[in-house]
Amino acid sequence: MGSRLMDEADVRRALTRIAHEILERNKGAEDVVLVGIAARGDDIARRLAAEILRIEGTEVAVGALDITFYRDDIGLRAEAPEVHETRIPFPVDDRTVVLVDVLFTGRTIRAAFDALMDFGRPRAIQLAVLVDRGHRELPIRADFIGKNVPTRPGDSVRVALTEVDGEDAVLVEDAR
C-alpha cells in the first residue's frame, strides 16, 4: 500500500523555495548552471531554471547527465542498464554546478560527481533534491531540499512529473 506525500501544489512550492535558496546562497544566478541527473532530475532542473528566470530575470543554463556507466553497481545488476542522453552544451569550468536529483543512499550522486568531472572543473558543486529520503550509505548531503521523507530502506519513492507521467506527485510504496 502506498501514499501520496506531495501533490502538484506541494511540488510547485518546493521548487519555488529551492530556486529562492539557490539564488540566495549564490548571491544571484551569475555563473550558476543546473545539471539534472537523467531521468527526472533533468526535468526538475528545467523547472528550477524557469523559476529562477521568473524570480531573477536571469536565464540559467540547464544540462542533463547520465550516470549509468559511472555507477558502482554496473556489473552487479541482472538487468541491462537504461542509458539516457547526456547533454551539457556549456562549460562547467569555474562555474557553480547545481546537481538536481532525488537523494537516497548517495551512490547516484557520487557517480554524478565522477561523470561531471569529465566535463571540466567546476568552482563548486551543490546538490538540490526534490526529495531526501534518508538511508545514506555515503557521506553526501543535499544543499537544497524540497521535502525530507522518512522511509524504510525497502520502500519505493516515485517522483511523478507532468512531463513524463501526466501529473506532479511524490508517492511512497511501502516495503511490506
The CATH code of the domain that includes 68 is: 3.40.50.2020
d(CA 143, CA 126) in angstroms, rounded, equals 6
CA angle 154, 164, 72 (to 5 degrees): 45
Cα 113 to Cα 37, 122, 166, 171, 175: the distances in Å are: 11, 10, 30, 27, 30
What pLDDT, on a 0 to 100 scale, did the predictor assign at position 100? 97
Q: Render pLDDT for 47-75 as a digit per residue (tens, 0 to 9).
A: 999 999 999 999 999 999 999 989 877 66
Residue range(s) defining the domain that contains residue 115 = 2-74+83-173
8-12, 32-36, 80-84: segment of lowest average pLDDT: 80-84
d(CA 47, CA 93): 23
The number of distinct structural domains making up the chain is 1
Whole-model pTM?
A: 0.92
For residue 167, the 8-state DSSP code is S
Q: Is the pLDDT of residue 162 over 60?
A: yes
Contact assessment for residue 133 and residue 116, using Cβ atoms and an 8 Å cutoff: no
Choose among 10, 61, 72: nearest CA to 36. Answer: 61
